[in-house]
């Protein structure tokens, strides 16, 4: 049998370089010198007999067509090696290996701290990396092999992914205390009429929430936009409009100390929070994380029934 011409370490360096975009950033991520990273990449290209990337000062690293094809294979090989390592570690009951997660920005404050405390710290042999961003874009990168799973909404799922629900969604209207509907137990979307609307301005929300509001008989009068969840709450707290959200902090106060009032919507079906993944890449590490998050979601549902539930 012909010996392998490249190493797993070189594959890891190639993946890091492709994702970081520069040799300098990749070296920092891998905790090695820039010279060592450059040498590793050059040795890998000699081993495979093809140019995998073009390196320039102005544009950093650009993958060649061969490099783009090789990147997918490299991720698969490194992932399989991690699974073999995990299979060996199973005998001692330990979790071990990499776990790369994407997380939709709006849900990150509610789940990343929990995962850090309850999963990352108890499993020091698992190398967890979490990248925040748009749920759909992160899933596309997951399909390309960059992530093992993405925490997002079920309404944001893309074709070709599986998912496990970890928390049922609860859509609600957020209004200032002075709003005429603030004292209602429930409210229909159309009752807001032409009231100024504050939009959580991210692609996944624009693509799912606005059509739902229109289907319920309301054309939202969008006066304010922000890609920040807390900025939206702050605008509502200052009486500048109302909004529709799914995540709900345990305290109904904006960052600048102003009260906001959540009012359940009777005709707005929210999406659930889920972990999207590719079934063929569902490692034991990911299975353990899914089970942990589902248990936390069930605990929160029991502790905070729908009538008074603060999303966390």
Question: Cα–chain-centroid distance for residue 44?
Answer: 31
Asked if residues 274 and 166 have their Cβ atoms less than 8 Å apart, the reply is: yes
| pLDDT, greater one: 65 or 56 | 65
256 forms beta bridges with none
How many Å apart are CA 275 and CA 70, to the nearest integer? Answer: 27
| Domains of the chain by start residue, with CATH | 8-70 (1.10.10.10), 94-166+272-303 (3.40.190.10), 172-264 (3.40.190.10)
Nearest to 245 by CA among 263, 258, 219, 259: 263
Task: Please count the CA atoms within 13 angstroms of the CA of 47 that sit on its side-chain side.
Answer: 17
| pLDDT, greater one: 133 or 269 | 133
DSSP code per residue over 141-189: HHHTTS-SEEEEEGGG--TT-EEEEEE----EEEE-TTSTTTT-S-B-G
> Is-above-0.75 flag for pTM?
no
Sign of CA dihedral 127, 166, 154, 218: negative
Asked if residues 232 and 249 have their Cβ atoms less than 8 Å apart, the reply is: no
- H-state helical runs in 175-264: 203-215, 229-237
Q: Is the confidence at residue 214, as pLDDT, over 80?
A: yes
Q: Is the confidence at residue 13, as pLDDT, over 70?
A: yes
Asked if residues 135 and 156 have their Cβ atoms less than 8 Å apart, the reply is: yes
Nearest to 275 by CA among 144, 110, 157, 137: 157
User: For 12-16, 98-102, 116-120, 260-264, which range has the lowest pLDDT when averaged over its residues?
Assistant: 12-16
């Amino acid at each position: 049998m012909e010996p392998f011409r490249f190493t797993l370490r070189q594959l890891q360096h190639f993946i890091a370089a492709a994702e970081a975009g520069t040799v300098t950033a990749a070296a920092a991520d891998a905790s090695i010198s820039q010279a060592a990273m450059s040498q590793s990449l050059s040795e890998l290209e000699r081993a495979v007999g093809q140019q995998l990337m073009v390196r320039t000062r102005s544009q950093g690293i650009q993958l060649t067509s061969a490099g783009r094809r090789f990147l997918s294979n490299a991720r698969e090989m490194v992932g399989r090696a991690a699974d073999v390592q995990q299979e060996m570690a199973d005998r001692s009951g330990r979790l071990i290996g990499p776990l790369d997660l994407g997380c939709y920005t709006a849900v990150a404050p509610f789940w990343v701290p929990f995962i850090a405390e309850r999963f990352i710290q108890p499993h020091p042999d698992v190398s967890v990396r979490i990248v925040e961003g748009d749920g759909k874009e992160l899933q596309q990168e997951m399909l390309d092999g960059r992530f093992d799973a993405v925490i997002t909404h079920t309404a944001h799922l893309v074709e070709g992914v599986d998912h496990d629900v970890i928390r049922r969604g609860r859509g609600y209207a957020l209004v200032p205390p002075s709003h005429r509907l603030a004292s209602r137990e429930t409210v229909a979307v159309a009752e807001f009429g032409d009231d100024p609307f504050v939009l959580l301005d991210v692609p996944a929300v624009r693509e799912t929430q606005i059509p739902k509001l229109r289907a319920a008989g309301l054309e939202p009068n969008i006066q304010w936009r922000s890609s920040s969840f807390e900025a939206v709450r702050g605008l509502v707290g200052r009486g500048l409009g109302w909004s529709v959200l799914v995540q709900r902090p345990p305290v109904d106060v904006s960052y600048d100390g102003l009260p906001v009032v959540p009012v359940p919507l009777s005709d707005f079906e929210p999406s659930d929070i889920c972990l999207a993944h590719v079934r063929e890449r569902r490692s034991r590490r990911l299975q353990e994380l899914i089970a942990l998050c589902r248990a936390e979601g069930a605990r929160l549902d029991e502790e905070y029934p729908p009538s008074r539930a603060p999303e966390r």
